[in-house]
Amino acid sequence: MTIKRTLILHGAVIIGLLVLTGVFAVRDVSSLSASSRYMEIQERINSSFLEMRLSEKNYFLFKDDQAIEDILVMVEEAGRTLDSFSQEMVRAIGREKYLALHQALEAYQMQAQAIAASKGRDVAAETSLREHGRRLMDISARLTNEERSKIGRLITDTKHGMLVSFLLILILAVFFTPIIYRRILTSLNKVSQLAMEIAEGRFRTIAGPVPHDELGTMIKAMNTMSEQLRLREDELVQAKKLSSLGILTAGVAHELTNPLNNISMIAQTYQEMYDSLSADERIDFMRKVSTECERIQAIVINLLDFAKPKVASFSCGDVNAVIGQTLKLVRNMLDVSNIEVVLDLREGLPCVRMDEHQITQVFVNLITNAIQAMSTGQTLTIRTMLTEDGGVRIEIKDTGKGIPPEILGNIFDPFFSTKGVDGTGLGLSVSYGIIRNHLGSITAHSEVNKGTTFEILLPAGEQVGGQP
């Protein structure tokens, strides 16, 4: 199965489980709402029934003839309540039980009316009134108890259903997701290593079995390319496309690091905070994993299309919204590193013609670099503002170790890195290219031991024709 189909299937299964969980949750919440509403109505009716029985005792024990008139008034009021809330009660307990309660009330009313009409005291009639009143209270109490039990069962079933769904999603996320991405990373590491060796003039091929997927196709192409370059080493300098291929392949391997780090940190945080998370928060963690999977899928697809790169999908977007979405993606990195984020986002900014995925990629690169440059407890400041010409300025400022002035001018060069073997030197280069493709600019200002500020200028949508 291809990587694309594997990722789509994996995402579809998780989404399907989430949808199924949501459907059952909505059903159970609807039932709980109906039962809760019924309990409110029933409490009101029970109060009327108790007052009726109290008046009944006054009539029998204290020979209060007015009490029978009071009973008739309260019976009519209870009947109106039953009629007014008939739909809610039928929805909760069913028509048959509703009619049984209504008929018991009518029977009680008829007996009370007969006593009131006789204007006398008949022991048999009075005994019948007591029996009808007792039956009415028994039916009401039984329905109330049944509904309480139903609510308890619904809550238990909902908890069990959510737990089962969560466990299934957890199994997919914890066991199957690493297998999928290990498969992708293994092939990508081979391709990346081969590309770096080709760039250094060592032309070899990737040995071993080739997977039957998109990366397998890429490995075959890389092997063929390497063999051809080995035979035509003198043409290497002029092979610009092949050189670009090497840069792109290594860049893709670098770009996969961010979402994979996010997935790893989400999983670790998820395990540590599991007991304290609510069901919605657990589902939100899985949504974050799904979002990172989609980012990786987009990166892999871009790798396959290196010969004919896709044109960026521009639309008029909100920079502040993209920053907010980016912070959600890197929230775990910030929390683990104990970095404080200060936001100063100007409201009412004009929309910017952008590819939101690419701009998110730029923000993730810059924030990740800032986190790596800072120590625990330091501050990351993100600020947006309006420029004099109507565009948007974004500042991302850290309080880290800073960049020496002698190398500050090289940080946007491909393969230039201050991280040694831990960096590829492509993150800022890729970001620079994206911003330039958006008709904007990106610059850096830094002081050693004081921090670094990256400034991005993007024109408003109207300044570039106003069309997404």
Give the chain's domain count: 3
Same domain, 197 and 338: no
In a domain? residue 173 = no
Residue 392 pairs in a beta bridge with 386, 458
pLDDT attached to residue 384: 95
Same domain, 27 and 145: yes
Same domain, 37 and 65: yes
Report how far apart, in Å, the C-alpha atoms of 275 and of each of 73, 116, 128 are: 55, 64, 58
In a domain? residue 96 = yes
The secondary structure of 121-150, three-state, reads: CCHHHHHHHHHHHHHHHHHHHHHHHHHHHH
Spatial distance between the Cα atoms of 45 and 74, rounded to a whole number of angstroms: 10
Q: Among residues 278, 304, 330, which one ends one of the domains? A: 304
pLDDT attached to residue 350: 93
Report how far apart, in Å, the C-alpha atoms of 38 and of each of 46, 48, 85, 146 are: 12, 15, 9, 11
How many CB atoms are closer than 10 A to CB 155?
A: 12
**Contact status, residue 405 vs residue 416, Cβ threshold 8 Å:** no
Spatial distance between the Cα atoms of 456 and 443, rounded to a whole number of angstroms: 7
Q: Among residues 260, 282, 304, which one ends one of the domains? A: 304
**Contact status, residue 277 vs residue 266, Cβ threshold 8 Å:** no
Same domain, 284 and 330: no
What ranges in 305-355 are assigned the alpha helix state H? Answer: 319-337
Spatial distance between the Cα atoms of 246 and 393, rounded to a whole number of angstroms: 33
Burial of 89 (0-12, 13-18, 19+ CB in 10 A): buried
Query: For the domain that residue 86 is a member of, what is the CATH number?
Result: 1.20.120.230
Domain of 405 in residue numbering reads as 315-464
Q: Among residues 283, 304, 325, which one ends one of the domains? A: 304
Q: With the C-alpha atoms ordered 385, 391, 392, 393, is the resulting torsion angle positive or negative? A: negative
Spatial distance between the Cα atoms of 144 and 128, rounded to a whole number of angstroms: 24
Same domain, 190 and 261: yes
How many CB atoms are closer than 10 A to CB 445?
A: 14
Backbone angles phi, psi at 378, to 5 degrees: -85, 180
Q: What is the pLDDT along the chain (468 residues), one digit of tens a residue?
A: 566 676 677 677 778 877 877 777 777 777 777 777 778 888 888 888 888 888 888 877 777 778 888 888 888 888 888 888 888 888 888 899 889 888 988 988 898 888 888 877 777 887 888 888 889 888 888 888 888 888 888 888 878 877 887 788 788 777 777 777 776 777 677 777 777 766 655 666 666 666 666 667 777 777 777 777 666 544 433 333 343 344 445 445 656 777 888 888 888 888 888 888 888 888 888 888 888 888 788 667 655 543 344 456 788 999 999 999 888 878 877 888 899 999 999 999 999 989 888 898 889 889 988 998 899 889 999 999 999 888 999 999 999 989 888 888 778 765 556 655 444 445 677 788 888 888 899 999 999 989 999 999 999 876 555 444
Spatial distance between the Cα atoms of 401 and 174, rounded to a whole number of angstroms: 36
CA 396 from chain centre, in angstroms, equals 25
Query: For the domain that residue 446 is a member of, what is the CATH number?
Result: 3.30.565.10
In a domain? residue 163 = no
Spatial distance between the Cα atoms of 374 and 354, rounded to a whole number of angstroms: 29
Spatial distance between the Cα atoms of 203 and 365, rounded to a whole number of angstroms: 31
Terminal alpha carbon distance of the chain: 36
In a domain? residue 3 = no
In a domain? residue 170 = no
Same domain, 111 and 221: no
How many CB atoms are closer than 10 A to CB 297?
A: 19
In a domain? residue 153 = yes
Same domain, 296 and 330: no
Same domain, 44 and 149: yes
In a domain? residue 175 = no
Q: What is the pTM of this model?
A: 0.38
Same domain, 201 and 325: no
Maximum Cα interatomic distance, the chain, rounded to a whole number of Å: 124
Same domain, 331 and 300: no
In a domain? residue 151 = yes
Same domain, 101 and 22: yes
The 3-state DSSP class for residue 310 equals coil
Same domain, 259 and 280: yes
* Structure-token match 């670790």, residue found: 268
Residue 441 pairs in a beta bridge with 457
